[in-house]
Amino acid sequence: MAGFNYSNLVTDIRNYTEVDSNVLTAALINRFIEDAEFKILRDVPLDAYKKQSTGNLVTGQNTINVPAKTLFVTGVQVYDSTSAATGANRWLEKKDETYLQEYVPSTESAKRAQPKYYAMFGGATGTTDTTSGRLFLAPAPDSTYVFKIHYNAFPNSLVTDTSGTYVSQYFPNGLLYACLVEAYGFLKGPMDMLTLYEQKYKQEVQKFAAEQLGRRKRDDYTDGTVRIQVPSPTP
């Protein structure tokens, strides 16, 4: 199956359900697509959404804004440098905010040092860093160290990036089946078709997850070639 752009997917949803635009309006299909994308996003962690962001800490300030659209943070580095993300650095240990409050309850000058721990609180709900969630650091920095945040970002939808997204290009069958589940749920049947596409989605998402969490996390040099047991024919 070739990848989808927005127009192709809308056409296929209407063709598969045999329902025209008088019932499945653009607004309804947009919701189906977005709900399907949410489902896939929660079912499979995708490398395509891994991002990095750098900046400078503020002396004495024990919080930093995470990048906009951050789903979750996977790691934080703090460099000895104050000008570039190069050279010696420390990977911060993730702890609960309460642990950090006990570790260094104050941001006063005598308590400042290069941060060692971080905790995430709040949610990245905005389109700019200033309206996002935050990372709580301990101890508060004693200099304007460069930091690098590794995170997974919330992707743009096919509804807005109509020429194509990672999911629509590399997991088009799963996206279609997830959309059809939403469509048949809205149409309230036929139930056998709803069940069919739920099963098809589950089958495809298992394969896609195996690719994302399996082959994309290994290489033949260090892990060896993947070997699949093929049963011998019965004599």
Is the CB of residue 30 less than 8 Å from the CB of residue 115? no
Q: How confident is the model at residue 121 (pLDDT cuts 50, 70, 90)?
A: confident
Is the CB of residue 114 less than 8 Å from the CB of residue 142? yes
Q: Considering just the CA atoms, what is the radius of gyration of the chain in Å?
A: 23
Q: Is pLDDT above 80 for 143?
A: yes
| Predicted local confidence at residue 82, as pLDDT | 92
Q: Is pLDDT above 70 for 130?
A: no
How far does Cα 219 stand from its chain's mean position? 22
Alpha helices in the chain (DSSP H): 6-17, 26-43, 97-103, 166-170, 172-187, 191-213, 220-223
Q: How confident is the model at residue 226 (pLDDT cuts 50, 70, 90)?
A: low
Joined together, the tokens standing for residue 189 give 């049947």
Count of positions (residues) in the chain = 235
How many CA atoms are closer than 13 Å to the CA of 77, on its beta-carbon side? 17
Query: How much of the chain exceeds pLDDT 90, in percent?
Result: 65
Q: Euclidean distance between the first and final Cα of the chain, in Å?
A: 38
User: Picking from 45-59, 60-74, 126-140, 183-197, which range would have the lowest pLDDT averaged per residue?
Assistant: 126-140
Give kind and range of the element (H or E) at residue 73: strand 70-79
Mean residue pLDDT across the chain: 89
pLDDT tens digits, one per residue of 157-184: 999 999 999 999 999 999 999 999 999 9
Nearest by Cα to 114 from 67, 73, 65, 147: 147
Backbone phi, psi, residue 54, to 5° = -120, 160
Is the CB of residue 89 less than 8 Å from the CB of residue 79? yes
Looking at per-residue pLDDT, the higher value among 160 and 225 belongs to 160
CA angle 24, 26, 30 (to 5 degrees): 100
pLDDT tens digits, one per residue of 95-105: 998 999 888 87
Peptide bond into 141 cis (omega under 30): no
User: Picking from 66-80, 97-111, 154-168, 188-202, which range would have the lowest pLDDT averaged per residue?
Assistant: 97-111
Name the one residue in this structure whose structure tokens are 């990036």.
Answer: 161
- Specify the pTM: 0.82
| Predicted local confidence at residue 69, as pLDDT | 86
Q: Is pLDDT above 60 for 207?
A: yes
